[in-house]
Amino acid sequence: MEKNQYLDIAPEVAQALAENKPVVALESTIISHGMPYPQNVETALKVEQVIRDNGAIPATIAIIGGRLKAGLTKDEIEHLGKTGYDVPKVSRRDLPIIIAKGMDGATTVTTTMIIASLAGIQIFATGGIGGVHRGAETTMDISADLEELAMTPVMVICAGAKSILDLGLTLEYLETKGVPVIGYGTKELPAFYTRKSGFGVDYELDTPLELATAFHVKQEIGLKGGMLVTNPIPEEFSMEPDVINKAIDEAIAQSKKEGIHGKDTTPFLLAKVKEITGGDSLDSNIQLVYNNARLAAKTAVELSKLG
């Protein structure tokens, strides 16, 4: 593929792509906005190691000095971790300005998909996707992640949508946009911190080969857009639905009281939920990211064999 003039692909990642070896993209918002330093850097490096241990090459994605980066050095990950919230959280609308001004940026699900696709990376592991926020019928607060899944040919492996969202409306939106929602070994949509949500997925697939084959077929028949794989958090790290839902309801009430809206909503709610649960939600968050990285690497291995 023709190289984009604003894109830097790390040598190891470029070589893997040239040789049709498995590569998995990772986002950087989890580093800058997801957890405190140094835990954020330790987690990011561990996620990369999990991908290597399962046979693939990691490509953590970010914007550094106005350059789109597919694959970060340890120093660049450290920089994002230390800078934290001072690094802008970059969605699709922000990309041209951040590049033009030569700034750093942490990539969301949306921008990680965009940059991964530019680099030729087809599999992306994250924690959870954004979606339709509660009350969106009046606020129109709908994550750009859903539009990106409809347009950009990347398989996103996550632990479902965070239950701070309206999960029913999120699924309806994805159906309208033609995005397949697949449960890995489950017929029920996982809700990030918990394995169950009460909502069904479109299809259940049970092996990395089945996931890779479905995505390969989607590309071969020329259907645009991505595919969403929802991978339940391991049982031992799952939180009790009653506990997490009570914390989420409290956090949402607090966000309304403080007038939080737009791109500040999700970081505020996650921080508040962490505070209410005494940090248990952060521990669960880290474990589900490792779990998704393992599945993404195994799926990327199978996809690389399909040509």
- Look at residues 141, 144, 186 and name the one whose alpha carbon lies nearest to residue 164: 141
CA dist list (Å): 206 to 149, 209, 295: 22, 9, 11
What are the catalytic residues? 27, 162
- Look at residues 57, 69, 77, 56 and name the one whose alpha carbon lies nearest to residue 10: 69
Query: Which residue is associated with the tokens 């850097």?
Result: 41
State how far the Cα of 201 lies from the Cα of 189, in Å rounded to an integer: 5
Which two structure tokens, joined as six digits, stand for 270?
């996650």
Q: What do you get for the CA distance between the two ends of the chain, in Å?
A: 15
